[in-house]
Amino acid sequence: MKTIYKKPESISDKPFHYCPGCGHGVVHRLIGEVIDELGEEKNTIAVVPVGCAVMGYDYLKCDVLEAAHGRAPAVATGVKRCLPDRLVFSYQGDGDLAAIGTAETIHAAARGENITVIFINNTIYGMTGGQMAPTTLCGQVTQTSPCGRDPYTQGFPLRMCEILSQVDGVSYIERCAIDTVQHINAAKKAIKKAFIYQREHGAYSFIELLCACPTNWGMTPAQAIERVGREMSEYFPLGVYIDKIGSCGR
């Protein structure tokens, strides 16, 4: 019998704790597939965030460091500067990367650290139960924006790909979405390209992935995934923002 679908080698057998419809499981799988395809499982070091993905260390079979909230790019910097021939990536949510860790995010990019940052944007704090995130859309209802986010008192959502596009140290930035098969395939390609750029060009890459959080959005998985393609993609346009190595920037 021919195997046509199996779990990536670099992902453990432990069942994911993520909710149905959540983007994390899909993205973990994509990363696992890419690590397998590049043959980097024994050479990869992951830095996981504070947030739902903190338990990434149970799912990834490579060596893993759990970082303090927002500090993953600094931790990844420490690792990579000591071990320049390892493949090092950080995996961070929106609160982690774009609120408490904004400084770490921007300065790791400014230094052009030879790491890959995987950014899960689901417009909400998931693990703490659904509070307003730096990427929460205007009008979006959360526990801490019960009347909908009012940008004039609560700030506007941050578009991190656009912000980082102005930073000279960056080599590659792409925003993808985890909603349709086509988009998920594109996301995998982006992750693979970023890892190859790191390995072969010493490049800093930033891959933003728009994901659903059905539980904290108060939606069914189907509704939530539809929101990713509609509302979220409208405010956070998909595409390649910078690609200095492939030189097909937007």
Which residues make up the interface to another protein (CB under 8 A)?
41-45, 47, 54-55, 57, 60-68, 71, 74-83, 86, 103-104, 106-107
| Interstrand relation of 172-177 and 205-210 (parallel, antiparallel or unpaired) | parallel
- Residue 29 or 111: the one with the smaller Cβ distance to another protein is 111
Shortest distance in whole angstroms from residue 85 CB to another protein:
9
| Interstrand relation of 239-243 and 172-177 (parallel, antiparallel or unpaired) | antiparallel
Distance CA 214, CA 130 (A): 10
- Residue 87 or 177: the one with the smaller Cβ distance to another protein is 87
Helix (H, G, I), strand (E, B) or coil at 55: helix
Cα torsion angle, 200, 205, 211, 217, sign: positive
- Residue 103 or 222: the one with the smaller Cβ distance to another protein is 103
Distance CA 198, CA 115 (A): 6
- Residue 24 or 71: the one with the smaller Cβ distance to another protein is 71
- Residue 113 or 174: the one with the smaller Cβ distance to another protein is 113
Using CB atoms within 10 A of its CB, is residue 165 exposed (0-12), middle (13-18) or buried (19+)?
middle
Residues β-bridged to residue 211: none
Shortest distance in whole angstroms from residue 140 CB to another protein:
28
Shortest distance in whole angstroms from residue 14 CB to another protein:
12
Shortest distance in whole angstroms from residue 50 CB to another protein:
8
The continuous run of DSSP H or E covering 239 comes out as: strand 239-243
Shortest distance in whole angstroms from residue 117 CB to another protein:
14
Q: Residue 85's Cα: distance from chain center in Å? A: 22
